[in-house]
C-alpha cells in the first residue's frame, strides 16, 4: 500500500482534490491510502466545508487552522504544522495542488526532509513574478519529483526551465519526471455536470434565464487591493449591466467583499448597490457554480479555475487580469485578456455578444487525468 499525504487549504485545492480522492475510491483503494491535511487557509463555511460533502471528499485527517495573515506568517505556520505531520505519518509522497501558500508550505516542508513531492498543475506560468502565485508555483515545481502539467504549454514551460523529458526511473527531486496529463478540474467538471442538473436550484432561486446573464468573479489581490483597478472593473460591470439590462451575478470572494466599501469610490459603491441588474451574492457551492457557468451567456473573471471552467462549458470569457497561464483559451479566441481596463472590458463584452460561433477544442484531456496520475504514482 502506498501512503500519500494530500495538502489542501484554499477553495480551488479542495475542489481539485475531489478528483484524485474519487479515483482512489473507485479504482485504487487497495493500492493507495490517502491522508488529507487541511491547512485552514480558507475556513468560512462557504469557502471550505461546503465542498466536502457535496464533492464526496473524505474529511481531513488533520486541520492546521492557520487562518488568514500575511504571506510570511501564514506560510511559516503551515510549514511547521505540515512538517510535524510528515514526521509522524511518514508518507511515501506528498501531493500538492496549484500555487497557493498552502502549496508552497507543503513543498518546502516535504523537500527538506526528503519526502518526494508530487505537483498537480505543474508548469503553469504567468511570467509575472509580482503574483504571489508565480513564486509559489515555481518553487514547488523545482522541489518536485513528479510534475503533472494539465496543458502542453505547462509541459513546455518546464522543459524551458531545464526539466528533462527523458529521465529514467527511479525518479527523485534531482531526477524528476514531467508529464502532460490533462486537467483534474476538467475531470471534475465532466463528472459533476450531470449531477448539478438535479442537485442545484440556483438558477431558479436567483430567477435567472438561461444564456441571459453574466457570471463574474473577482478575488485576485492586485485587483481587490488596488483602488484604480477595482473601480475600473466595477465601473465596467455597472455600465454593461445597466446599459444592456443584463443581470450580472457576482458570487464574491470574502477578500473582495471586505474591500468593496474601502476601495470603491463612494459614488460607484452606491451605484453598484442600487443597480437592479447587479446581484452580489455570497460564494456558492461547486454544484451551484457549475450551474451558473453552464447557464451564463458570458463569464468575466480574474480566477484561474473559473477561466477554464468557462471553456469546459463552452462560454466566452473576459479575463480581468494582465495575463493568463491558460494561453490556449486566448489563442482559441474564446477568451480575451482585458486586464482591469474599463473600456477593454466593455469592448470585449460587445465583441462576444455579437459573436455566436466559437470553437472549444478539447485541450484539457479526456476527463481521466486523476486516474492517470494514480497509475503513475503506483508505478
Residue 350 designated active-site: no
The least distance separating ligand UDP from the CB of residue 213, rounded to whole angstroms, comes to 15
For residue 348, what are the contacts with CB-CB under 8 A and spacing of at least 6? 318, 336, 338
Q: Which is nearer to ligand UD1, 137 or 315 (CB)?
A: 137
**Dist. CA 309–CA 19, nearest whole Å:** 15
- Selected binder of ligand UDP within 144, 263, 303, 348 (CB under 6 A): 303
Site string for ligand UDP, 4-43 (x = CB under 6 A): -------xx--x----------------------------
Angle at 18 (CA atoms; ends 15, 21), nearest 5 degrees: 155
Among 47, 86, 94, 203, binds ligand UD1 (CB under 6 A): 47
Name the minimum Å distance from CB 346 to ligand UDP.
23
Question: Of the candidates 254, 279, 332, 351, which one interacts with ligand UD1 according to CB under 6 A?
Answer: 254
Residue 44 binding ligand UD1, by CB under 6 A? yes
Q: Coil, strand or helix: which one is 274?
A: helix
Among 42, 119, 142, 219, the one annotated catalytic: 219
241 binds, among ligand UDP, ligand UD1, none (CB under 5 to 8 A by kind): none
**102 near ligand UDP, rule: CB under 6 A:** no
Site for ligand UDP in 219-248 (CB under 6 A): 219
**Alpha carbon distance 365, 44 (integer Å):** 32
- Whether 372 and 181 have beta carbons less than 8 Å apart is answered as yes
Q: Where are the alpha helices (DSSP H) in the chain?
A: 11-23, 49-54, 71-89, 101-112, 132-141, 152-160, 184-199, 202-205, 221-224, 227-244, 254-263, 266-274, 286-295, 304-312, 327-331, 342-354, 369-378
- Kindly state the number of chain residues that form the binding site for ligand UD1, as judged by CB under 6 A: 20
Sole binder of ligand UD1 in the list 6, 39, 100, 196 (CB under 6 A):
100
> Which of 123, 150, 251, 365 is close enough to bind ligand UDP by CB under 6 A?
251
Which whole-number Å values give the CA distances from 197 to 19, 56, 208, 219, in the listed order?
19, 17, 15, 27
74 or 189: whose CB is closer to ligand UD1?
A: 74
49 binds ligand UD1 (CB under 6 A): no
By CB under 6 A, residue 284 contacts ligand UDP: yes
Query: Element (H or E) spanning 249, and its range?
Result: strand 247-251
Closer of 26 and 128 to ligand UD1 (Cβ)? 128
Nine cell digits for residue 156:
513546455
Segment (H or E) for 119: strand 117-120
Amino acid at each position: 500500500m502506498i501512503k500519500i499525504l494530500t495538502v489542501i487549504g484554499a477553495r480551488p485545492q479542495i475542489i481539485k482534490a475531489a478528483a484524485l480522492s474519487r479515483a482512489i475510491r473507485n479504482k485504487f483503494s487497495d493500492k493507495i491510502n490517502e491522508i488529507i491535511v487541511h491547512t485552514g487557509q480558507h475556513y468560512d463555511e462557504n469557502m471550505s466545508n461546503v465542498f466536502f460533502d457535496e464533492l464526496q471528499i473524505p474529511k481531513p485527517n488533520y486541520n492546521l487552522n492557520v487562518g488568514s495573515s500575511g504571506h510570511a506568517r501564514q506560510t511559516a505556520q503551515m510549514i511547521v504544522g505540515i512538517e510535524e505531520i510528515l514526521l509522524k505519518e511518514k508518507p511515501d509522497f506528498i501531493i500538492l495542488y496549484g500555487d497557493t501558500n498552502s502549496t508552497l508550505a507543503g513543498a518546502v516542508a516535504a523537500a527538506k526532509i526528503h519526502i518526494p513531492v508530487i505537483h498537480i498543475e505543474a508548469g503553469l506560468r504567468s511570467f509575472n513574478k509580482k503574483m504571489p502565485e508565480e513564486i509559489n508555483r515555481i518553487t514547488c515545481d523545482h522541489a518536485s519529483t513528479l510534475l503533472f502539467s494539465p496543458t502542453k504549454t505547462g509541459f513546455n514551460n518546464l522543459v524551458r526551465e531545464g526539466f528533462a523529458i527523458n529521465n529514467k526511473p527511479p525518479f527523485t527531486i534531482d531526477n524528476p519526471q514531467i508529464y502532460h496529463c490533462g486537467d483534474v478540474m476538467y475531470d471534475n467538471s465532466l463528472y459533476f455536470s450531470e449531477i448539478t442538473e438535479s442537485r442545484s436550484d440556483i438558477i431558479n432561486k436567483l430567477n435567472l434565464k438561461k444564456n441571459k446573464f453574466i457570471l463574474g468573479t473577482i478575488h485576485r489581490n492586485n485587483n481587490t487591493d488596488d483602488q484604480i483597478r477595482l473601480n475600473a472593473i466595477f465601473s465596467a460591470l455597472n455600465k454593461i449591466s445597466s446599459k444592456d439590462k443584463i443581470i450580472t451575478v457576482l458570487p464574491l470572494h470574502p477578500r473582495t467583499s471586505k474591500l468593496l466599501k474601502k476601495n470603491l469610490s463612494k459614488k460607484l459603491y452606491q451605484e453598484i448597490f442600487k443597480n437592479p441588474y447587479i446581484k452580489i451574492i455570497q460564494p456558492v457551492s461547486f454544484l451551484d457554480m457549475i450551474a451558473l457557468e453552464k447557464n451564463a451567456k458570458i463569464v468575466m473573471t480574474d480566477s484561474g479555475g473559473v477561466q477554464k471552467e468557462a471553456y469546459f462549458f463552452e462560454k466566452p470569457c473576459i479575463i480581468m487580469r494582465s495575463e493568463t497561464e491558460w494561453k490556449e483559451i486566448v489563442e482559441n479566441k474564446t477568451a480575451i485578456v482585458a486586464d482591469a481596463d474599463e473600456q477593454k472590458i466593455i469592448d470585449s463584452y460587445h465583441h462576444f455578444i455579437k459573436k455566436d460561433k466559437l470553437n472549444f477544442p478539447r485541450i484539457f484531456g479526456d476527463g481521466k487525468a486523476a486516474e492517470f496520475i494514480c497509475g503513475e504514482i503506483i508505478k
